Amino acid sequence: MQEQREQWGTRAGFLLAAIGSAVGLGNIWRFPYVAYENGGGAFLLPYLVALLTAGIPLLILEYTIGHRYRSSPPTAFLRLSKPAQPIGWWQVIISFVIAVYYALIIAWAVMYTGFSVGTSWGDDPESFLFGDFLNTADAPDGDFSYVGGVAVPLIAVWVVTLAVLAIGVRKGIERAARIFIPLLAVLFVVLVIRALTLPGATDGLNALFSPDWSAITDGSVWVAAYGQIFFTLSVGFGIMVTYASYLRRRADLSGSALVAGFANGSFELLAGIGVFATLGFMAAGTGTPVGEIATSGIGLAFVAFPEIISSMPGGEIFGVVFFASLTIAGLTSLISIVQVVVSSVADRTGLSRVPAVLIVGGFTAVVSIALFPTTQGVNILDVVDHFINQYGIALAGLVAVIVVAWFIRGLRPLAEHANLTSAVRVGPLWRITLGIVTPVVLGWMMWDSLSAEFAENYGDYPTWFLIGAGWAVAVGAIVLGIVLSLLPWKHGRQQAPDEAGTTDVEGVQH
């Protein structure tokens, strides 16, 4: 007897889950700095263009593939065209890799929520982070000593994540999104309001939003805008294909993509205001220009912000709110990432949800807990994150678009499917953006990134470490994706005849 595929309870539940997936750590600690470095207020123009010509079209594409074939990436791409199946498994492996290290950063945020009470990092947050808390090795070597203070919160993060997934799509993921996303919005609005009342906040906002219109003519600024859009919307590694596969048949695909895309962009703008208002306060207190203290990533969240919190009136409360926001944003994204892996294996093997979560999700958690709460955890995270983003997510997205648009010629039938139930119809312009604009921009990003990669070692890491923790992971994801597509998955869930077309316009059998 065929098991009924789960469905979202409401469209709002799906949208909250999709927004929760897109709104992650990168929105808070990446967008403000990227905008600042690429023209300030002027960057918003290429950002908006990138959102409209790549971000939302890609969201519609992934929503439509997932909705039409009602499956996670491997099965959806198989039903789209058999030769495309490796793309689906490639995306699954990318999600697995990201999940094992992404959980670590959430564990840090959990601990820093507590550290904010009493400002446990003292007078030197950088030494506290890398020394007292993480015990990070000075350089990559064979020392993998375990760090218990990191392992405990990491285990807790995985317990929460797997529990939500085990409960199910509607009762687990959707209910969690209904709680976490409004809570995240409230916390972040409170944080931004507090930041705007700080002395020097105006200087920080002027630094961020003062437009440098000459940047508009710089090609690298446009590449940065498209890169930010691509990496922030959870496209390219199967999340939106998976989430859309649980939509009801009469789902508004293009309308949902517009809502999710603009909601994510609004949160990024809000994050930029909060971050730079806070940096302006720090600059005013130290007499240092905002540009000299502006940073991104781990340095912003776990070094610069603790310094600010220590010198801010009521800083402890501000710190709790900030790191609680990081925790929630990270959790909603982690849940969506792990769901890709769990759902994909379940679809191809016929495993029901709880066994799939325990086996697949449990294995992902074990790898994460075994590898990352160690003295080498930060070094491995840094390199793996760089390579899997540049040569995993971006490259997989590029290949998927080229295969669907140019080789399978599937954009027209997918557009027809999207238009059956969508309020905003897609047509030639959508096909042009996906068939030409997106491949050109992503291709340029690949070339630019590879040129820099071979010019000098990333992060000054030794070559052997970059090969082992970087290139091997990125290339291994491709190879393993191909291998998994060749396995005879004979016991997967069968799709009822009316759940997808029997043939597409090109006559490819599904």
The reply to whether the predicted model has a pTM over 0.85 is yes
Tokens describing residue 53:
């010509």
Beta strands in 180-322 (DSSP E): none
CATH number for region 11-499: 1.20.1740.10
CA 348, CA 337: separation in Å to the nearest integer? 18
Output the pLDDT for position 3: 58
pLDDT tens digits in sequence order for the chain, 510 residues long: 345 788 999 999 999 999 999 998 888 888 998 999 999 999 999 999 999 999 999 999 999 999 999 999 999 999 999 999 999 999 999 999 999 999 999 999 999 999 999 899 999 999 999 999 999 988 888 778 999 999 999 999 999 999 999 999 999 999 999 999 999 999 989 999 999 999 999 999 999 999 999 988 888 888 888 888 888 888 888 999 999 999 998 899 999 999 999 999 999 999 999 999 999 999 998 888 888 888 888 888 899 899 999 988 888 999 999 999 999 999 999 999 999 999 999 998 889 999 999 999 999 999 999 999 999 999 999 999 999 988 888 899 999 999 999 999 999 999 999 999 898 999 999 999 999 999 998 898 888 888 888 889 998 899 999 999 999 999 999 999 999 999 887 555 544 333 444 333 232 322
Q: Shortest CA distance to 155 belongs to which of 144, 167, 145, 147?
A: 147
Output the pLDDT for position 491: 55
- The ranges assigned to domains in the chain are 11-499
Q: Compute the Cα dihedral for 132, 134, 137, 141 and give only its sign.
A: positive
CA 496 to chain centre: 32
Burial of 218 from C-beta contacts in 10 A (0-12 / 13-18 / 19+): middle
Residue 509 β-bridge partners: 503
Q: What is the DSSP string of 35-96?
A: HHHTTGGGGHHHHHHHIIIIIHHHHHHHHHHHHHHTS-HHHHHHHH-GGGHHHHHHHHHHHH
Q: What is the DSSP string of 220-241?
A: HHHHHHHHHHHHHTT-SSSHHH
Residue 146 β-bridge partners: 374
